[in-house]
Amino acid sequence: MIITGYGIVLRRLTLEDIEQVRHWRNDPEINRWMIYQDSITSEQQREWFETINNPFNYYFIIEVQQKPIGLIYAKDLDPLTLEGEGGVFIGERNYRETDIPARASILWIRFCFDCLSAKKSRIRVKKENSKALAFNVLLGYQMVMQSDTTYTMELTKDGFYASKGMLGLKKLYFNFSKVSIQGEESSANLPEINSFLIKHGQRS
């Protein structure tokens, strides 16, 4: 499955991508913000992929001009409510301080709300990660819970479409208003997604 919009391409994670993702994930600049902080081996990465390559986890490579630059995902979807936990990281350093993370996140959240029909998106952010906290507030996330080390934040569809991030991107990138979703029926998709792909093929 491929999602395209805002000058970004999101491509469903494959087995061929996982070593690149592991390399990014083990980068100290990324690893420091993760809940799980141990270094990941190739064997662990393969085992992980086998556990997430299913209808309840959606991991996508972020591409800019055909260059893979990061990962975005919704994991552990509840089959009844379609609520799940989201996350994103940019592996290529040159893109971290650009508007690419915002564009990729908005494209992804639109997919989750409009195509997955998710009710809420949930994220966990380490308390000391002030940039991520500010970024997610910009997208409309609100804090609902906290532990000693993390904040749990949630986003509703209405909150997202009214957010400063969404309104700002719509104003700035009016030429990137078209969004398309393409793919084939797969056992790794929820029935709702397979039905959408069969019926529409792509969406604007």
Here the CATH number for the domain that contains residue 55 is 3.40.630.30
| pLDDT at res. 176 | 47
pLDDT in tens, the chain (204 residues): 999 988 899 999 999 999 999 999 999 999 888 877 788 999 999 999 999 999 999 999 999 999 999 999 999 988 888 888 999 999 999 999 898 998 899 899 988 888 778 888 999 999 999 999 999 999 999 999 999 999 999 999 999 989 987 777 666 654 445 778 888 889 999 888 888 888 766 544
- pTM to 2 decimal places: 0.89
Tally Cβ neighbours within 10 Å of residue 137: 15
Q: CB within 8 A of 71, min separation 6: which ones?
A: 13, 21, 24, 59, 60, 61, 62, 88, 89, 91
Domain count, the chain: 1
Are the CB atoms for 63 and 127 separated by under 8 Å?
no
**What is the dihedral angle through the alpha carbons of 60, 38, 44, 2, rounded to the nearest 10 degrees?**
0
CA distance 178 to 176: 6
pLDDT of residue 172: 64
| Domain residue limits at 58 | 2-200
Q: HSE (CB half, 13 Å, CA atoms) of 43?
A: 0
